[in-house]
Homo-oligomer: A and B are copies of this chain.
């Protein structure tokens, strides 16, 4: 799933071209570099990581251009942005991939993707009740995984809840 068939890459590229043309935006090599870099993997990358990867690949783009291009890619829905609790957005390719939700281990930060059709029903019901046109949603579940090598194992850092109102 990590690498993408050339055909899909071409599709994605032409979607972006069409979008830029429609908006009277220029088709600069930097923009296509950013697009291709983000479509190279199925990672959830942040803007700086993307900048560094591009640099490492020998593509000279500035951070400003990376941010700028990501904004365009969000607008044409070729990329989605996630906010996983930190103040740093993560970006992920979106074309022809299932819309999924996320499960995050708070110990090792491992990230899993899942999908449950009931969310669609919930979304529709909420839309109807509140008279909204819902465009998208973001569902993240946070917890502890049970992996052997997960820092969870050494849980001296116990949640220390407040179940003691009258202690």
* B-binding residues in A (CB < 8 A): 11, 14-16, 18-19, 21-23, 75-78, 81, 83-89, 103, 105-106, 112, 114, 116, 118-119, 121-123, 125-127, 129-146, 159-162, 164-167
Contacts and interface: CB of A to CB of B under 8 A. Distances in A.
A91 to B, nearest CB: 13
| Chain A binding surface, main DSSP class | mixed
A11 to B, nearest CB: 6
Contacts of A77: 161-162
A133 to B, nearest CB: 5
A86 B119 CA distance: 23
B132 A143 contact: yes
Nearest to A145: B132
B134 A125 contact: no
Contact of A75 (B89, B134, B160): B160
A26 B75 CA distance: 49
Nearest to A14: B165
A79 to B, nearest CB: 11
